Structure 1
Amino acid sequence: MDVTCFAQHRRKVHNAAVTVQPEFTMSSLIPGQPSLVAPGVWRILALNPGMMTGPGTNSYLLASDQGLVLLDPGPEDAHHADNLRAAATEIGQPITCVLVTHTHRDHSPNAALFGAVRRLGPLPPDDGLQDEAWQPDQILADGDCLSLGEGRTLRVIATPGHVSNHLCYLLEEEGVLFSGDHLIQGSTVVIAPPSGSMADYLASLRKLEHESIQVMAPGHGDLIIEPMDYISHTIGHRLRREEKVIRALTQHPDSQVSELVPGVYDDVPVFLHGVATMSLLAHLLKLEQEQRARRDAEERWVLL
């Protein structure tokens, strides 16, 4: 699989219509069972359901002229690795390349179980939350393109926010966006500073509004079949949450993050408030970056 830079050929949403009209398949999320979700694209669900992962992590196999590309191999799990190999055998091609959207420990560690297969993706940031063992053979950057053969191109779109090294991959001819944890089906994602940034996250969402996306294949959950509406809804949701942060600070100045959570996330179950604290801090840091709020030495926040 060749890696080249085609940034000068980026296609905008108002350009000519996509010439291929693929069929996208909504299917049951059954761990270990390969599902054809788009032409030449199979999803295999990992065996790691949970509060933070939903049904589990989606791994994808993409057909290319040099074998299968494994996108997001998932958490380190020999059983899931065996399921991926079995799916490759059923498809009739070997796994020759591993890509990752980011290096959280539910997405990249299983790459270690695939031996000398070529690895492409971002470097892990140093925040204590990453798969430190992940080291790509080639570091990918915004605008890089992977030729899958037969006129199929996978383009890298840098989408920092959920984490600073997050990448999405757009299968351009079919309009399939592999969104990793930038956008997932059925829920919003946690933005955890310091490597996560709410300002970057919103900028990355707006960046995707200018792409020709027909469907999203997320890191968790089923296909997102109205992607542009989903992006717009997510931007609106985050900005409405920001308004609640501002109201809470207006009513309760000199508050610490933990004191603001119950009011800002009064629509979220209490057992999720610990997780919500991370995204709330990301909202506050965005306001600080915009010089709309500040904190003192005791991490008490006020509006400016």
Structure 2
Amino acid sequence: MKEQEAELKADRLSPHVFRIAVPTITLPPLDKTNTYVVHAGTDAIVVDCGSEDTATVAQVAKVIRSEGIDNVIAYIATHYHLDHTRGIPLLQQHFPAPVYAHPLDHAGTAKEMNVPTADLRAPSGVMHLSDVNLRIMHRPGHTHGHLHVMIEPDNLLIVGDHMAGVGTVWIGPPDGHMNDYYRALEDIAESPANLALPGHGDPIESPQEASRALLAHRLEREAGILQLLSEAPRTVDDIVTAIYGDRGLGPALWVATRTTQAHLTRLIELGQVTRRAQAPKFQMVYSRRR
């Protein structure tokens, strides 16, 4: 289905928040990125918009207007990746407003939006829409400038690409850092949120339990990597093959590879793993520290 053939609609999540699942270029099996609209009266703040299709973004604008909104006062990019930012300039043509992103993601956001970095603003701690507060928190992990947005009083937490409605998310260099991601998951687990609103897929109920389960999964994967390295030194490709076998990752292979690299980086920082270059291709070989 082409992007412009998709029928977009508002999925109401609370009195002040709805989402629009927008077709984007993203990782399968997901083919949409959520745009969240937080509003009070006729004013709104839009979080993420990733479609580069003009007709699709025109539909996004139509849906926003159908909810009684005629003024967008700001855009927030949870992080710079194209499936979260490419549509913002197109939506600005319908609703002009400044764009806020964390300064650590300004360079990437400007590149994806094709604008000067000077056009981007750094978010303050809180944005206000009448009696609605958007508490913007720097939560690196997926990227260095990744943001979470707590919407009060609705107690909804936008978590960007730190959680997904289906499956897990990827964390990898040079953008991401596994230890930062663990801290972001711990913050979600300690939050009062009733729902976590991910970048892709449906809202996540019991976000505290879900984030703890994600953390446990990642730590289990780390333990598996350590076990493999206890048996023999291995390259990243060796580790990925041992973990995923013949599951046919296809286009997702690079995701598994980069996430494995992020785990290895953390284990090196913890002093549990060493690495060295091995001839003839000078591949990095990882060993468990004895």
CA distance in 1, matches of 2:164, 2:191: 18
Tell me the residue number matched to 1:46: 22
Query: For residues 155-194 of structure 1, what are the structure 2 equivalents within 5 Å?
Result: 155-194=135-174
Tell me the residue number matched to 2:99: 119
Query: For residues 260-279 of structure 1, what are the structure 2 equivalents within 5 Å?
Result: 260-266=239-245, 269-271=248-250, 272-279=252-259
Alignment counterpart, residue 196 of structure 2, candidates 192, 208, 216: 216
In structure 2, give the amino acid aligned to 1:197: H
Contact map agreement 1:105 1:130 (CA 8 A) in 2 = no
Q: CA RMSD in A?
A: 2.3
Tell me the residue number matched to 1:140: 123
Could you tell me how far 1:39 is from its partner in structure 2?
1.3
Alignment counterpart, residue 89 of structure 1, candidates 36, 61, 65: 65
Contact map agreement 1:31 1:45 (CA 8 A) in 2 = no
* 2:286 matches 1:301: yes
Structure 1 residues 65 and 145: CA distance shift in structure 2, 3 A: farther
Structure 1 residues 51 and 137: CA distance shift in structure 2, 3 A: closer
Could you tell me how far 1:133 is from its partner in structure 2?
3.0
CA distance in 2, matches of 1:204, 1:284: 19
Deviation string, structure 1 residues 96-132 (Cα, Å, up to 9, x no partner): 3211100100001211111442211223266799626
Partner SS for 1:177: strand
Gaps of 5+ in 1: 1-29
Structure 1 residues 232 and 213: CA distance shift in structure 2, 3 A: same
Tell me the residue number matched to 1:18: none
CA distance in 2, matches of 1:45, 1:248: 40
CA distance in 1, matches of 2:285, 2:217: 25
TM value normalised by structure 1: 0.82
TM value normalised by structure 2: 0.86
CA distance in 2, matches of 1:129, 1:117: 15
In structure 2, give the amino acid aligned to 1:265: Y
* 2:47 matches 1:71: yes
In structure 2, give the amino acid aligned to 1:102: H
Partner SS for 2:184: helix
Structure 1 residues 102 and 264: CA distance shift in structure 2, 3 A: same
Tell me the residue number matched to 1:287: 267
Tell me the residue number matched to 1:10: none
Partner SS for 1:156: strand
Structure 1 residues 53 and 270: CA distance shift in structure 2, 3 A: closer
Could you tell me how far 1:192 is from its partner in structure 2?
2.0
Contact map agreement 1:31 1:46 (CA 8 A) in 2 = no
Contact map agreement 1:74 1:109 (CA 8 A) in 2 = yes
Deviation string, structure 1 residues 67-113 (Cα, Å, up to 9, x no partner): 12111011322122101210122112223321110010000121111
CA distance in 2, matches of 1:244, 1:181: 24
Structure 1 residues 241 and 295: CA distance shift in structure 2, 3 A: same
In structure 1, give the amino acid aligned to 2:140: P
Could you tell me how far 1:55 is from its partner in structure 2?
3.7
Contact map agreement 2:41 2:69 (CA 8 A) in 1 = no
Contact map agreement 2:86 2:112 (CA 8 A) in 1 = yes
CA distance in 2, matches of 1:90, 1:66: 11
CA distance in 2, matches of 1:263, 1:110: 39
In structure 2, give the amino acid aligned to 1:280: T
Sequence identity (%): 25
CA distance in 2, matches of 1:131, 1:50: 14
The higher-RCO structure (CA 8 Å, 6+ apart) is 1
CA distance in 2, matches of 1:278, 1:127: 18
Contact map agreement 1:68 1:88 (CA 8 A) in 2 = no
Structure 1 residues 267 and 140: CA distance shift in structure 2, 3 A: farther
Tell me the residue number matched to 1:15: none
In structure 1, give the amino acid aligned to 2:180: D
Residue-pair matches, total: 271
Partner SS for 1:222: coil
CA distance in 2, matches of 1:291, 1:89: 54
